[in-house]
């Protein structure tokens, strides 16, 4: 089941493999000394059985060496596997082997007492991967349930299969692949729209009272995690870039949007990571390298007491004023970005609320059945060596949002954004 070498539970019983290894020479001796007491047919059968046995043992031992890299299996691991096999073989009810293995993995992850180390089933893994990869396979529509209970298309992604098929915002989906949607949930409809890349999807939609048939080929859709715009100030333009998450394609999108605003002669920049839960550390690092000078520390990582400083190794940097917008839901990679600017960039203001306070880094590993593990592998520290776990990054200027913005979230009501623009007016004057 598992590709990860340390969590392989459905392979041959390791204790049995050890016994076979120690008894292999004895089995061969018996075959050699007894050959004269059998007839020709029996000898052939013994030879075939011996060859088969040798292959099985050889493959098993090869697997054992690959899985454990020649290391001696600990007594604790042997006991765990023995219990696993005993339950499968001796429990009075039939036990599903996969369910038992899943429970064992889940139990190990739970024993870590770490909210960020989890075992995810296939469905949750798929959702997680879509988020961190920044893409999914579908046709590029956002579906909602309207006031009439119909499945209405809320948005159509640019350059998506749906847009190319001339599906429009406001269209109502009546059936999918000939199946009517009465009594079907929104999650089920979303699942029906997804599928393998290149596969075809048949939709019947209702538009202006008319039924229209559409056939669409599913494709890979990039999730947009970066948006930008430019604000005209009385002392020059200010760029604004929001990052909703650090997916695998976020740096590419950020670089594109940064060029777009810089082509409009900005004098300063706002980077908005409010409510950004984090994501790929590599993407955060690449974005920081666009701004911070060579050999400056971006952040530190600590593994079992050993600290490593991660420095900028690029020649690229910027020096114009930057404001980083944060709130209490800015977490993980967002906090790494804010802390790096705070400690290693010369002209920056961190504005908003104290951040979430997550100071650890996780590694995700996919298992062969579609499930996955996500577990903590390092602590991260600010460039100056501070661990912000449970504390967060404190803003240079604390600004809270008003009820007016929460009721009507537009730029004019966004006190944090307006405060950032006020700071940039003064800095550039």
Active site annotation includes 164: no
> What pLDDT sits at residue 73?
74
Distance CA 115, CA 331 (A): 14
φ, ψ of residue 298 in degrees (nearest 5): -90, -45
Mean pLDDT of the chain: 85
3-state secondary structure at position 195: coil
> What pLDDT sits at residue 22?
30
| Mean pLDDT in residue range 275-298 | 97
**Chain-centre distance of CA 59, in angstroms?**
34
> What pLDDT sits at residue 71?
58
> What pLDDT sits at residue 5?
26
| Mean pLDDT in residue range 255-284 | 97
pLDDT digits (tens, 9 = 90+) for 124-175: 898 888 889 999 999 999 999 988 899 999 999 999 999 999 999 999 999 9
Active site annotation includes 332: yes
In this prediction the pTM is: 0.77
Active-site residue among 358, 371, 374, 419?
358
Look at 152 and 33; give whichever has higher pLDDT.
152
Active-site residue among 102, 222, 343, 414?
343
Helical (H) or strand (E) element with 133: helix 122-133
Distance CA 391, CA 220 (A): 39
| Mean pLDDT in residue range 397-420 | 96
> What pLDDT sits at residue 9?
18
pLDDT digits (tens, 9 = 90+) for 315-372: 999 999 999 999 999 999 999 999 999 999 999 999 999 999 999 999 998 988 899 9
Tell whether the model's pLDDT for residue 33 goes beyond 60: no
Q: Which two tokens stand for residue 6?
A: 């340390």
3-state secondary structure at position 214: strand
Active site annotation includes 371: no
Look at 175 and 2; give whichever has higher pLDDT.
175
| Mean pLDDT in residue range 391-399 | 98
> What pLDDT sits at residue 247?
96
Q: 65: pLDDT confidence band, cut at 50, 70 and 90? A: very low
> What pLDDT sits at residue 147?
85
Tell whether the model's pLDDT for residue 63 goes beyond 90: no
Active-site residue among 332, 334, 372, 419?
332
The least confident of 40-54, 82-96, 226-240, 285-299 is 40-54
The least confident of 21-25, 78-82, 183-187 is 21-25
> What pLDDT sits at residue 16?
28
Tell whether the model's pLDDT for residue 373 goes beyond 60: yes
The least confident of 52-66, 174-188, 360-374 is 52-66
Q: What percent of the chain has pLDDT over 90?
A: 70
Q: 428: pLDDT confidence band, cut at 50, 70 and 90? A: low
CA dist 299 → 83, 229, 284, 384 (Å): 43, 29, 11, 8
Residue 330 · residue 349 · CB < 8 Å: no
| Mean pLDDT in residue range 369-390 | 95
Return the number of other C-beta atoms located less than 10 Å from residue 35's C-beta. Answer: 12
Q: With CA atoms as reference, report the closest residue to 270 among 235, 315, 227, 234.
A: 227
Beta strands in 164-305 (DSSP E): 172-176, 179-180, 200-207, 210-217, 219-222, 226-233, 236-243, 266-272, 297-303
């Amino acid at each position: 089941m598992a590709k990860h070498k340390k969590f392989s539970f459905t392979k041959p019983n390791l204790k049995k493999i050890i016994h076979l290894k120690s008894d292999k020479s004895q089995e061969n001796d018996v075959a050699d000394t007894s050959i004269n007491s059998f007839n020709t047919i029996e000898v052939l059968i013994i030879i075939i059985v011996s060859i088969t046995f040798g292959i099985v043992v050889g493959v098993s031992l090869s697997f054992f060496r690959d899985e454990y890299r020649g290391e001696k299996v600990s007594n604790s691991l042997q006991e765990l596997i023995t219990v696993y096999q005993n339950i499968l073989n001796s429990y009075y009810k039939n036990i599903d082997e996969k369910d038992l293995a899943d429970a064992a993995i889940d139990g190990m992850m739970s024993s870590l007492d770490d909210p960020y180390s989890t075992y995810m089933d296939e469905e949750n893994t798929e959702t997680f991967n879509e988020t961190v990869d920044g893409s999914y396979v579908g046709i590029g529509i956002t579906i909602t349930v309207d006031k009439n209970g119909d499945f209405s298309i809320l948005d159509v992604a640019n350059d998506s299969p749906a847009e190319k098929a001339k599906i429009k915002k406001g269209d109502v989906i009546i059936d999918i692949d000939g199946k009517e949607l009465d009594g079907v949930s929104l999650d089920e409809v979303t699942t029906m729209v997804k599928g393998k890349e290149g596969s075809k999807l048949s939709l019947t939609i209702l538009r202006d009272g008319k039924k229209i048939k559409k056939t669409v080929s599913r494709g890979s859709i990039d999730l947009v995690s970066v948006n930008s715009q430019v604000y005209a100030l009385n002392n020059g333009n200010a760029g604004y870039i929001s990052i909703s998450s650090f997916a695998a394609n976020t740096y590419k999108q950020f670089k594109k949007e940064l060029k777009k605003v810089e082509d409009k002669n900005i004098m300063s920049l706002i980077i908005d990571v409010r409510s950004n839960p984090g994501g790929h550390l590599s993407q955060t690092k690449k974005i920081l390298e666009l701004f911070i000078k060579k050999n400056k520390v971006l952040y530190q990582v600590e593994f079992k007491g050993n600290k490593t400083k991660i420095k900028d190794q690029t020649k690229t940097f910027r020096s114009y004023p930057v404001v980083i917008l944060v709130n209490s839901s800015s977490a993980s990679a967002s906090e790494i970005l804010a802390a790096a600017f705070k400690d290693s960039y010369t002209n920056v203001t961190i504005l908003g609320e104290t951040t979430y306070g997550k100071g650890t880094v996780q590694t995700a590993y996919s298992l062969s059945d579609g499930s996955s593990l996500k577990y903590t592998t390092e602590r991260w520290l600010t460039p100056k060596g501070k661990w912000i776990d449970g504390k967060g990054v404190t803003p240079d200027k604390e600004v809270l949002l008003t009820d007016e913005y929460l009721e009507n979230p537009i730029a004019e009501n966004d006190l944090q954004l307006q405060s950032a623009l006020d700071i940039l007016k003064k800095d550039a004057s």
